[in-house]
């Protein structure tokens, strides 16, 4: 059983709850390695199509790196190959992941959320990349993901000052998909997951891969002419036939994910 997180399966949805509430769900190397294994298993499991990641309690999603744990040692960190929480350097994950941000999302915690495909935030959520205030930098992708997800000047305003941003401002800036009362957060995250599950899973994975990998292309033409293995898998799938057939027969499609 995991020690630093809780894992729950509900049909095709996996919910992962970071469970270190005494330290605002801050992560130390053992927790990162544990979460890396959890998401390795999610990626490999054909029966799981969507993941939701959240934090235990009502105070914090994740306060980032456990600086007290780091300071108590030699100052060095053992890094998980797939990054902070096993997500921030997981560039090959084609299944969608939703961040249900239930409070503080600082530093690495915000970087976990930015690495997810959707961010659903409770009204008490707070986001920041405050690393420069303690002589560090947002090395788990924050410096690169944030300017790609919101306008550059707004991203620089957060990166260069470490200032805190509310859930409502995050929605206005564009990195939050929806803001809900705290009591409704998980219900809202599952609603989004349910809407994803209404779609063909291979179409979802192809869409995610094409969108994210296409960002590295120099033009729309180059992006459209790129090679995407998930697109090929979609075109060869049974679901590629099932979708139009179900539409023509005026019934809900029975997705197989193959």
Domains 5-197 and 201-248 share a fold: no
> Which pLDDT score is estimated for 74?
62
Fold of 5-197: 2-enoyl-CoA Hydratase; Chain A, domain 1 (3.90.226)
Half-sphere exposure of 206 (CA within 13 A, CB side): 22
Is residue 131 flagged as an active site residue?
A: yes
User: Rg of the chain over CA atoms, in angstroms?
Assistant: 19
Which member of 36, 41, 111, 198 is catalytic?
111
Q: What are the pLDDT digits (tens) for 28-71?
A: 999 999 999 999 999 999 999 999 999 999 999 999 998 888 77
CA 150 distance to own-chain centroid? 16
Burial status of residue 105 (CB atoms within 10 A of its CB: 0-12, 13-18, 19 or more): buried
Segment 119-157, tens digit of pLDDT:
999 999 999 999 999 888 999 999 999 999 999 999 999
pLDDT tens digit sequence for 77-122: 678 899 999 999 999 999 999 999 999 999 999 999 999 999 999 9
List the chain domain ranges.
5-197, 201-248
Q: Which of 3, 8, 36, 131 is catalytic?
A: 131
CATH class, domain 201-248, is mainly alpha
- Is 8 labeled as catalytic in the residue annotation? no
Residue 76 has pLDDT above 70, yes or no: no
């Amino acid at each position: 059983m995991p020690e630093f997180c809780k894992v729950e399966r509900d049909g095709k949805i996996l919910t992962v709850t970071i469970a270190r509430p005494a330290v605002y769900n801050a992560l130390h190397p053992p927790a990162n390695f544990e979460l890396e294994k959890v998401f390795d298993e999610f990626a490999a499991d054909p029966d799981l199509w969507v993941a939701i990641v959240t934090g235990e309690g009502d105070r914090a999603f994740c306060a980032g790196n456990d600086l007290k744990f780091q300071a108590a040692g030699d100052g060095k960190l053992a890094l998980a190959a797939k990054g902070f929480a096993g997500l921030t350097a997981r560039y090959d994950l084609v299944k969608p992941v939703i961040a249900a941000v239930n409070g503080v999302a600082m530093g690495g915690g915000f970087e976990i959320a930015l690495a997810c495909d959707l961010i659903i935030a409770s009204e008490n959520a707070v986001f920041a990349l405050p690393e420069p205030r303690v002589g560090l930098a947002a090395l788990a992708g924050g410096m690169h993901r944030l300017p790609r997800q919101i306008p550059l000047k707004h991203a620089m305003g957060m990166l260069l000052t470490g200032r805190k941003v509310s859930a409502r401002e995050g929605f206005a800036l564009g990195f939050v998909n929806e803001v809900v009362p705290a009591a409704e957060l998980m219900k809202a995250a599952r609603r989004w997951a349910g809407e994803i599950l209404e779609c063909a899973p291979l179409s979802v994975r192809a869409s995610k891969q094409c969108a994210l990998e296409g960002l590295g292309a120099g033009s729309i033409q180059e992006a459209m002419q790129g090679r995407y293995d998930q697109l090929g898998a979609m075109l060869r799938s049974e679901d590629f036939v099932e979708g139009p057939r179900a539409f023509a027969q005026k019934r809900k499609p029975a997705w197989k994910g193959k």
